[in-house]
Structure 1
Amino acid sequence: MTIDLDPPTVKVDPLGPAKLGPITLRNRVIKAATYEGLTPKGLVTDELIEFHRQPAAGGVGMTTVAYCAVAADGRTAPGQITWRDDAMPGLRKLTDAIHAEGAAVSAQIGHAGPVAGAKYNGAPALAPSTQFRLTTQTLARAATVADIERITAQHVDASKRAIEAGFDAIELHFGHNYFISSFLSPRTNRRKDRYGGSLENRARLARETARAVRDAVGDRIAILAKLNMDDGVAGGFWVDEAIQVAQWLEQDGSLDALELTAGSSLLNPMYLFKGDAPLREFAAAMPQPTKLGIQLVGKHFLREYPYRDAYLLDDARQIRAAVTMPLVLLGGITGKASMDLAMEEGFQFVAIARALLREPDLVNRITAETHRPGLCNHCNKCMTAIYGGTHCVLRKP
């Protein structure tokens, strides 16, 4: 008799239900946080609700509202939602609408730090160290320890308010050189105190924030974090350090899952998106002198990277090999094949952004086995539509 010592491989269905911390999603597909541009007064609008209701009705397990700043000085654009009293009724209306479609809903929370829009926030952008931001012609001020403590406490307050508003999950923003991500990066963090220098010090803020939030909310809500694997700039945060930070976060036990991302909104935004860089469309959407700047030197800031499905997988599988906690694979998930690939590689969830702008009912189509090859062509012109409400410019109304 032959004894097979290897356990049989269990095939995970991305369209089957899955636990995420204290909640159960109807499937493993998450609509990734995508800046909506639909809150001109910092309040939920019917358009914002519809933006998230469509993929919820289209079958996703959870949709993510982006980006809800923990403080007014942490906004990247005017009109972004902050966690103030008058925003709460609208947020509850939004979560009720998503739940009515059978999906869960997450709120991405964070502070933009050096990426924040200082000119319209009426306050200086905050960074680990003083730095000049060329794209906005503004100087980011070095955050004091008091600033760090305030922003950490504001993450806690935002998390509690998310529970009050009916959210099932929160996503802490540790990516794209926003405040916490900028502390992780040696390119942007030149501090000499306990928050700078060694990786352990640079990771302190991420760990302290996640711990503070978990201690405050317990298991009343699922907690994810969006973690950069690679800033996409020389001298920045890279996957070797990301592996260690992921291991520390796992050891801390403060998170239910990590969503893996890349790129710097501050220094190299196209590194995350891959595909075409829509320079002409960006220039057309901007006032002078920004328009002229994009026309003259935009190709050096908005660099093009070739697109392929599951394009973050090479880096992400290195994180997967180093931790056992649930991971969310982001980047070029466009259909059943890339979803299955993610499951085969050991990821528990996938996150989709652009493909759902093109086809909000993508998951239902796949479930019904009627989905042809995805329609998203990665032209990235949706990036330039944020100023009038994010949408796929190729999709018929």
Structure 2
Amino acid sequence: MSVLITDAGAKHSLAAIRSIGSRNIDVGAIETTRLNMGFLSRYVKKRFLCPHSKGELFVNHIIKILEKHKYDVFLPVIDTSYEAASKYKARLEKYVRMPVANYDSMSIALNKRRTMMLAEKKGVPVPATVYPIRLSDIRDNAKKITYPAVIKTADGAGSGGIAFVNSEAELLLKYPKMVTDKSNLPMIQEYIPGKGQGFFALYNNGKPRAIFMHERIREYPVTGGPSTMAKSIYSDSLKKEGLKMLNALDWHGVAMVEFKLDSRDNTLKLMEVNPKFWGSLDLAISSGVDFPYLAYKMALDGDVKPVMKYNESMKFRWIFPGEILHFLSSEDKIKALKDFMEFDKNIKSDIRLKDPLPNIFQIMLTARMAVSLSLKGKLRHPCGVAKVN
């Protein structure tokens, strides 16, 4: 049995490589550069350089690999790989099985603007949102918005494609800089204070086959970004809203539905849908929901036995670069150090003594990132900061 995994330089790709490779399944890995942490894993049997990371050129190269090296399952990992696999699904499925949604569903999930509009239609709670149609709308909208607010591009993921603004003047200054496509303008949302919570699922043609939920403990950037430490949780309301959103998309494959638990009224507010494997994938695996393997098996066999229960008291931390950058950016270093030194049997990390080379690479990458962000003056708040009264 064999699987071809994309984006070997991503931490969630490494999680998938380790998960599936440790089960004695042959793993092939793809990346655009030769030096990356996934290629350094002991669980990768074959490494393929791909000069393209998205679109039809990416798919053409994948097909060339599949024609020469037979793989049973293809697992894209990041958003650009997923989008390409979904858009050209019919071509790829002539060579390999893959658990990927159809492009109608994928195109909605990849577009934050369309995602929010669908959520509002289906009754999933969202932040107060303004959807500018023309650049000339911004000046009028700026007077109606409650600050702090967040500018979000339609195609950004995680902390990418966002900027915090605290006044009308700041919005008018920053908004034009965020525009990359005048036909698909960034939306403007109220800033939601509170903890990030995620609902994760594997779907088989519109039906959930595995679920998991988590809450962020720490993140970087501290104003909102990927988890640096998170814990498994169970929440009926989180499950309800997450299922509602993915059911509305008639989903197939893996996805994350990200919310914030609004500290003002204790209600969930949708942040985005990640129609792909997610950065905190390690936590779900450690808690007993092995999404990469389940997705592989579902693609291979057509279905899997549902996994709806898991360890609800697990914590996971991503030391490099996440926890290190979070510590370096913290204003209260004593508290941050105390938090950093927290260890117990229910806290796992992505450091693997049996697979050390990727972690050594991460250490070097972390040092470079820390220096680069510091020199730019963006270590503490790379996306700006929301000033909440």
Same fold (TM over 0.5): no
Greater percentage in strand: 2
TM-score for the superposition, normalised by structure 2: 0.30
